[in-house]
């Protein structure tokens, strides 16, 4: 009996099947590239122009209205709180097709103050000196070891609102608030505020980077940062900060609320007061609520001299091999109230204490905690307090800590849509 058969149809079918599988793989790759996730720092997908126009209309309707932050910022202006500026300015590619002109329009308006700035899309603070692919601008040092190029930073004036739309990003530079009042920043990504060490590390091995994505100093009063994302972008600077210092540092300032922000891919996240000479708690009054700290290393916050209220935040994947880190780092003069937070995975400890004050001294810090999930009191010692060290003067609502691991990642960060009442979804 002849068992031979014609193999040609089988081969053709096999080839067609392989081609189809290859096309499916290519399509899947293309789709995945077009839809960046929170962990993908690639260029965000932009909104339809009609949607953008409608969103801008909603944001413009907030001009002159009162803002409620459920934190210390509600105590600004003699407890009257913050309000949105009345003079609206839209910064977009249509009005400023040249990226440098767009940057100039934005930074000039921010510096002038008394403006409600709606930022549509990206603003390159470096004017093209930095990109995801080329950061060599900050690899240059003089023969004496000093850096050739200084940090790129711009000032924000009083009574300024910066409201992002269409996945707005402030890229490759930092913004600073120095002795200014009544500032609102919402729905913006602070993307890779890139700099260099102050000295060439081949000459001074201890030299560190100095640029902050956002900083507050001087006698600043009344600041709300909400639904913003802070990230080093495509950089990996988690072990030893060669190119980044703080994500959001607050050297001095009262009545500050940081809410629904996402902090990721960064080492030293938030420093409150620069050294141990800053011991007065009332000089720095800060609320952190509903923020998402993940894939970060330390300082969430690291503090001195402050009245710090930390509630309903989610901390997860803290620390990396080679830099185990911590979340909360209270130091001298820090008075912490820590309520209903969720503490997930940590390479090392949740709390690392830095206060060397003698117990009973006026600068001795206190740490009160209640309702937290996954928390432990390791390293707190005699700083632990059974009562709140100061009276919370504003209205706020606590959520159960156990559900924050689901709700906070969904709600925190930038790139949100604006509802009809001005809230971000």
Instruction: For residue range 80-135, list pLDDT tens digits in order.
Output: 999 999 999 999 999 999 999 999 999 999 999 999 999 999 999 999 999 999 99
Among residues 78, 422, 7, which one has the least CA distance to residue 226? Answer: 422
Count of structural domains within the chain: 1
Nearest C-alpha neighbor of 413 from the set 82, 41, 65, 31: 41
Q: Are 118 and 59 in contact (CB under 8 A)?
A: yes
Backbone angles phi, psi at 212, to 5 degrees: -110, 145
pLDDT at 295: 98
pTM as predicted = 0.90
How confident is the model over 345-375, as pLDDT tens digits?
999 999 999 999 999 999 999 999 999 999 9
Instruction: Give residue 121's pLDDT.
Output: 97
Q: Is residue 123 part of a domain?
A: yes
Query: What range defines the domain where residue 377 resides?
Result: 57-411
Q: Is residue 22 part of a domain?
A: no
Q: pLDDT (tens digit, 9 = 90+) per residue, 136-190?
A: 999 999 999 999 999 999 999 999 999 999 999 999 999 999 999 999 999 999 9
Q: Which helix (H) or strand (E) holds 52?
A: helix 49-60
Give the H/E segment covering residue 164: strand 160-171
pLDDT value at residue 243: 96
Q: Are 152 and 144 in contact (CB under 8 A)?
A: no
CA 341 to chain centre: 18
Is the model more confident about 242 or about 47? 242
Residue 283 has pLDDT above 90, yes or no: yes
Structure tokens at 243: 């190119």
- In percent, the amount of the chain with pLDDT more than 90 equals 87
Q: What is the pLDDT of residues 259-280, one digit of tens each?
A: 999 999 999 999 999 999 999 9
The answer to whether position 96 is within a domain reads yes
The per-residue pLDDT for 425 is 80
* pLDDT confidence tier of residue 41, bands split at 50, 70 and 90: low
Q: Is 43 part of a structural domain of the chain? A: no
Return the pLDDT at 44.
79
* 85 falls within a domain: yes
- Domain with residue 105: its CATH number is 2.160.20.10
251 falls within a domain: yes
- Rounded to whole angstroms, the Cα distance separating 16 from 12 reads 6
Cβ partners under 8 Å of residue 21, min gap 6: none
């Amino acid at each position: 009996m002849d068992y031979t058969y014609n193999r040609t149809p089988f081969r053709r079918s096999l080839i067609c099947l392989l081609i189809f599988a290859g096309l499916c793989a290519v399509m899947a790759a293309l789709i995945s590239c077009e839809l960046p996730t929170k962990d993908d720092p690639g260029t965000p997908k932009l909104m339809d122009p009609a949607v953008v126009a409608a969103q801008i209309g909603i944001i413009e309707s907030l001009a002159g209205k009162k803002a409620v932050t459920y934190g210390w910022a509600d105590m600004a202006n003699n407890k009257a709180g913050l309000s949105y500026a009345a003079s609206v300015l839209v910064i977009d590619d249509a009005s400023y097709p040249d990226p440098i002109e767009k940057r100039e329009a934005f930074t000039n308006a921010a510096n002038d103050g008394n403006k409600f700035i709606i930022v549509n899309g990206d603003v390159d603070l470096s004017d093209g000196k930095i990109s995801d692919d080329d950061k060599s601008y900050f690899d240059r040092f003089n023969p004496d070891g000093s850096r050739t190029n200084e940090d790129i930073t711009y000032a924000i004036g009083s009574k300024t609102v910066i409201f992002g739309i269409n996945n707005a990003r402030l890229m490759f530079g930092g913004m600073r608030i120095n002795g200014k009042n009544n500032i609102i920043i919402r729905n913006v990504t602070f993307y890779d505020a890139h700099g260099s060490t102050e000295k060439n590390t081949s000459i001074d091995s201890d030299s560190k980077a100095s640029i902050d994505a956002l900083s507050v100093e001087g006698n600043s009063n009344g600041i709300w940062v909400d639904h913003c994302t802070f990230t080093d972008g495509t950089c990996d600077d988690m072990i030893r900060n060669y190119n980044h210092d703080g994500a959001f540092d607050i050297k001095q300032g009262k009545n500050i609320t940081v809410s629904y922000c996402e902090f990721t891919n960064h080492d030293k996240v938030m420093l409150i007061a620069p050294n141990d000479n800053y011991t007065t708690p009332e000089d720095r009054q800060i609320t952190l609520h509903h923020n998402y700290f993940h894939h970060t290393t330390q300082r969430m916050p690291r503090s001195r001299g402050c009245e710090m209220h930390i509630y309903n935040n989610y901390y997860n994947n803290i620390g990396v091999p080679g830099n185990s880190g911590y979340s909360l780092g209270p130091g001298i003069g820090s008075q912490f109230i820590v309520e209903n937070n969720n503490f997930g995975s940590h390479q090392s400890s949740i709390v690392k204490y830095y206060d060397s004050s003698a117990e009973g001294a006026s600068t001795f810090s206190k740490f009160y905690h209640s309702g937290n999930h996954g928390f432990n009191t390791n390293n707190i010692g005699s700083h632990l307090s059974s009562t709140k060290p100061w009276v919370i003067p504003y209205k706020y609502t606590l959520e159960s800590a156990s559900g924050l691991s689901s709700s906070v990642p969904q709600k925190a960060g930038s790139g949100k849509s604006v509802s009809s009442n001005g809230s971000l979804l």
